[in-house]
Chains A and B, each alone.
Chain A
């Protein structure tokens, strides 16, 4: 216990944690952002091209089943060491929840509403932006939230490929058998994940159109 407190109150370690937290967030958010940019349009595209939906979902689902450490390792021969392989692996992980929710969200838009929109003379683009996206926004946001929370956790492993982040401190903790260091890295990661979950939950509520709020 004493050791933990000394470790956590060491200003040098505090400084280091702050730096790593920044790196950690950067890499997590970049991965999620990249995943949103790819998965949302892809999800929309799949609703327009149902035949491809199943194969694509299966492939993306398979990526999810590869153990994270293994996926990171696979990236090294391709992208070398540093933030690149970490970002690539985390991006692949972040894809599925966003893709799945975008696809499911748009698919779940009431058929009657779509027919009304089409029958009233909306172009496909108007239908997408005025009806389908607003109506599935909450489901898509939910996918983004799930992705963000798990990516913040998984980003800890990025330290293995030299991408930095709070994983570094945790790894040092392992090497030095220091519970203090492990906690010094682990607690901020947990807090960041919880905070992201809370904030994105609030955002989700805030952007849900009033007519759709539960």
Chain B
């Protein structure tokens, strides 16, 4: 769809904004260009519709060299959405939306029909909004109009330069969802510049991470998250969001760190009281040095009247090392039908506990990413 071959851009002041860029944007994909300010992402985008012209190299759109096309015609065939929204304040919503069709010489009836089919696409009622002026709309509504204005002449390529950057977070999320839906529905190709990794991860089919005018890493959101090329990308993603591959997660990362314990000389009545008080259904037995001796569950306590924990506890229970992979713990629990699995280090000291809940949590984190899980937890806590 769009192809960059050894494209460079040097500005008049000598700034080398883009250096020897090679990129192929597939038809129907939403590709995000991301990077810190000054990385050349916007320049790259604006070279496609010749708002900036490449100093060297070749850009083709649909196989045609853009430098051999009339820039005005080229631009009319490509949708364009910018951060400042850029609606014409002296034109009504309808006049704004039908601008490119008007420049292309569509007749009035066809333009009117197009406006009426586009407005509902972003949830705006044509009868209500057609004749309003931009300033009568909220920022979010204005950018919705900005998006459908870019779609008006049915382009198969749309360039978006941080379109949601100036909107509040909630509106931004909604517009991202709408954009993704529209893009799927209309199967348009979108080149999307952003500096917000959340946005890129959410929207992109592929992410192009740029740095100093060059492509630093390129891949699907999944690939970028799992295998960030280096510290730069990792930092850009944000440490806390960085998702180690599930096969790499260790038991220590997911285990409960302070399991409920008893000493072997505790009476059974006291052990039962501890279980009730702590709302657990098993107790780990440790000696004064913290070494794991065994475990008691209601099974062992049932029907036994007197005695101490050491009389009834199960010894030689299966354990895992904190450095073991989570899969190992998972496999053990499934195969041996365990409810829980103590984590014991090389010296035999109890350091934690793995339960079903721990594993489900770890799985959820791997599948839906960290922030999703922590937001549920936060939601439940409140």
Is the Cβ of B72 less than 8 Å from the Cβ of A121? yes
- Cα–Cα distance between A113 and B86 once the two chains are bound (Å): 4
A209 within 8 A of B: yes
A134 within 8 A of B: yes
B residues 134-193 near A (Cβ < 8 Å) are 134-135, 146, 149, 159
> Which residue from B49, B51, B90 sits with its C-beta under 8 Å from A211?
B90
- Cα–Cα distance between A84 and B77 once the two chains are bound (Å): 54
Q: A120-B76, A121-B103 are in contact. List 5 more A-B contacts (CB 8 A).
A: A110-B84, A117-B88, A120-B80, A121-B76, A211-B90
A119 within 8 A of B: yes
Is the Cβ of B92 less than 8 Å from the Cβ of A211? yes
A67 within 8 A of B: no
- Cα–Cα distance between A211 and B88 once the two chains are bound (Å): 9
B75 within 8 A of A: yes
A14 within 8 A of B: no
Is the Cβ of A122 less than 8 Å from the Cβ of B88? no
How far, in Å, is B86 (CB) from chain A's closest CB? 3
A112 within 8 A of B: yes
Give the interface of B toward A (CB within 8 A): 49, 51, 72-77, 80, 82-92, 99-100, 103, 133-135, 146, 149, 159
- Cα–Cα distance between A113 and B142 once the two chains are bound (Å): 13
- Cα–Cα distance between A131 and B135 once the two chains are bound (Å): 16
How far, in Å, is B81 (CB) from chain A's closest CB? 8
- Cα–Cα distance between A135 and B146 once the two chains are bound (Å): 19
- Cα–Cα distance between A112 and B83 once the two chains are bound (Å): 8
CB-nearest residue of chain B relative to A112?
A: B84
Is the Cβ of B86 less than 8 Å from the Cβ of A117? yes
Among A111, A115, A123, which residue has the most Cβ atoms of chain B within 10 A? A115
How far, in Å, is B25 (CB) from chain A's closest CB? 18
Contacts between chains A and B (CB distance < 8 A), count? 77
CB-nearest residue of chain B relative to A212?
A: B90
Is the Cβ of B89 less than 8 Å from the Cβ of A120? no
Give the interface of A toward B (CB within 8 A): 110-123, 126, 130-131, 134-135, 209-212
| Chain A residues positioned under 8 Å from B73 (CB to CB) | 121
Is the Cβ of A116 less than 8 Å from the Cβ of B87? yes
> Which residue from A116, A122, A130 sits with its C-beta under 8 Å from B82?
A116
- Cα–Cα distance between A40 and B368 once the two chains are bound (Å): 61
| Chain A residues positioned under 8 Å from B135 (CB to CB) | 211
Is the Cβ of B89 less than 8 Å from the Cβ of A211? yes
Beyond A115-B82, A121-B76, A211-B135, is A131–B103 a contact (Cβ under 8 Å)? no
Task: Name 9 A/B residue pairs within 8 A (Cβ), A-sorted.
Answer: A110-B84, A110-B89, A112-B82, A113-B88, A117-B86, A120-B80, A121-B77, A122-B72, A211-B92
Is the Cβ of A115 less than 8 Å from the Cβ of B103? no
| Chain B residues positioned under 8 Å from A130 (CB to CB) | 88
Is the Cβ of B92 less than 8 Å from the Cβ of A115? no
How far, in Å, is B295 (CB) from chain A's closest CB? 67
> Which residue from B85, B91, B100 sits with its C-beta under 8 Å from A121?
B100
Is the Cβ of B88 less than 8 Å from the Cβ of A210? no
- Cα–Cα distance between A110 and B134 once the two chains are bound (Å): 14
